[in-house]
A and B are shown apart, each in its own frame.
Chain A
Amino acid sequence: MRLNVLLFATLKERAGAGRIALELPAGEITVAQLRDVLVQQYPSLGPSMPTAICAINHEFAGAQDVVSEGDEVAFFPPVSGGGL
């Protein structure tokens, strides 16, 4: 199945792209498994992935939530800037 993954902020910089099209075996995959696939294909995402937030179709998703064909998946990291 084909999956579109959106990356924000430092994740986007680390992967070098804000939008990734993933080709995956047919069926379903959990968010936790998807994180592993992303880190395999984009090792630079490794350090940031554990604290990144996942959303499926604009809805916050936990590690065991399931991603299916056609879903839009987004990952975004915590960001701290603002004061200085």
Chain B
Amino acid sequence: MQPIVDRLEDLTHEEIRRYSRHLIMPEIGMEGQRRLKASSVLLVGTGGLGSPLALYLAAAGVGRIGLVDYDVVDDTNLHRQIIHGHSSIGMLKVESARRRMLDINPDIQVDVYNEPLTSDNALRILEPYDVIIDGTDNFPTRYLVNDACVRLGKPNVYGSILRFEGQLSVFYAKEGPCYRCMFPEPPPPGLVPSCAEAGVLGVLPGTIGTMQATEGIKLITGIGEPMIGRMLLYDALEMSFTTIRIRKNPNCPVCSIPAEEVELIDYEQFCGVPAHDRVETRYPDDLPIPTISVEQLKQRMDAGEDLFVLDVRNPEEWEIAVLPNTVKIPKSQIDMAAFQVASGAQAREQTILAQIPTDREVIVHCRSGVRSENVIETLRELGYDPTRLINLEGGILDWARRIDRTMPVY
């Protein structure tokens, strides 16, 4: 493929020395390195995938790198977000990342956008960059990045991870399919867990993020075969790499129409989930989910009340910390049973749901209050009394922070 970047910047003697291992390879050479220096890449997300991306692209001499993120570094980030260190806890991620990148390579320019990417600002933020790299953590932003790239005619280097598996592709509507050709509709809210809910192997974003960086460099310099029209499925446990050939959907709602007619929409509404992966509760406007605070729960426990508290976390999490006297059923089992009941395959009483009473108050909890809220919505749809399903606000995390300080926070 032709290089995405047709501009060349001169290299200084210091730069020629710095990039000498690149320069001696004919595939890159002086011309490729000058292209890299003239190029600009936007990284959407400076977390798990964004960390190795920012480190390697800075080191490789991409002349201008933009970072979009509005989060701050916290200690649960550090097992995988290797651009940030212990000393950056509490710092803006974009600032922490910029500092590290300029330490690796002071010759580059790092632009920071400490704001969420939205339909209002996406075209303005993406416009100046040659290549866009999607390292976000949620579906609304993935659809937004895709649609904005199609509109602007820019390649979107896509990477996504969960638990032990990752996906990689290059969506470039001019040359091949876009994200919407593959996934025209988002999955139903709550069906695909986020990394905050389901976990992720710390090394995994390193594996996928470095491959995204590789694709970015290939696009800029025009070397090799880019992942356009292919999707890589990586499984770390099997150590297997499966490549699927993918094709443009002739009826794609986005890339089959003229680019200038692509309108950015409300992607949170489209996906039915918020555009972030943070653990935060949200309530439907029509029928709020009743909540109980950890203090209120503790008070009622201390008063000796007979309570039904349902823990919907995974068994691995039960080993880390548990509340006293809970009934434990993982959300996945509840979802499965609910599907069977809803599809008429089984009566509620024949499933694990029989353990969840319909005739009394049920206090549902998880780690932070998100999964428990999903479970409450599921149970409501099965006809459980919505006024008797209570969400423990802030989950066991709040309990550990405010009630039992000896409990580990995870």
Question: Which residues in A have some Cβ–Cβ distance to B below 8 Å?
Answer: 6, 8-10, 13-14, 18, 43-44, 46-48, 51, 53, 55, 58-60, 74, 76-84
Distance, CA A83 to CA B69, complexed state (A): 9
Q: Which of B161, B167, B205, B345 has the most CB of A within 10 A?
A: B167
Q: Which residue of B lies closest to A62 (CB)?
A: B249
Please count how many residues in chain B sit with their CB below 8 Å of the partner chain's CB atoms: 60
The answer to the question of B171 belonging to the interface, with a C-beta cut-off of 8 Å to chain A, is: no
Q: Which residue of B lies closest to A72 (CB)?
A: B242
Interface residues of B in 308-347 (CB under 8 A from A): 332, 335-336, 339-340, 343, 345
Give min CB distance, B212 to chain A, whole Å.
9
Contact (Cβ within 8 A) B343 A81: no
Q: A8-B233, A46-B343 are in contact. Are A82 and B208 (CB under 8 A)?
A: yes
Q: Which residue of B lies closest to A81 (CB)?
A: B195
The answer to the question of B39 belonging to the interface, with a C-beta cut-off of 8 Å to chain A, is: no
B191 partner residues in chain A, CB cutoff 8 A: 10, 47-48, 51
Contact (Cβ within 8 A) B245 A58: yes
Contact (Cβ within 8 A) B161 A81: yes
Apart from A43-B336, A83-B136, what are 12 other A-B pairs with CB-CB below 8 Å?
Answer: A14-B332, A43-B340, A44-B339, A53-B182, A74-B242, A78-B139, A79-B162, A79-B166, A80-B136, A80-B138, A82-B205, A84-B71
Q: Mark B109-141, 1 if CB is under 8 A from A, else 0.
A: 000000000000000000000000011111101
Question: Which residues in B have some Cβ–Cβ distance to A below 8 Å?
Answer: 45-50, 69, 71, 77, 134-139, 141-142, 159-163, 165-167, 182-183, 185-188, 191-196, 198, 200, 205, 208, 233, 235, 238, 242-247, 276-278, 332, 335-336, 339-340, 343, 345
The 10 closest A-B pairs by CB, nearest first: A83-B137, A83-B45, A81-B195, A83-B47, A82-B49, A55-B244, A51-B187, A44-B336, A84-B277, A79-B160
Q: Which residue of A lies closest to B230 (CB)?
A: A58
Give min CB distance, A5 to chain B, whole Å.
13
Contact (Cβ within 8 A) A84 B186: no
A77 partner residues in chain B, CB cutoff 8 A: 187, 192
A84 partner residues in chain B, CB cutoff 8 A: 47-48, 71, 77, 137, 194-196, 276-278
Q: Which residue of A lies closest to B339 (CB)?
A: A46
Distance, CA A10 to CA B183, complexed state (A): 16
Contact (Cβ within 8 A) B161 A47: no
Contact (Cβ within 8 A) A74 B192: no
Distance, CA A79 to CA B49, complexed state (A): 14
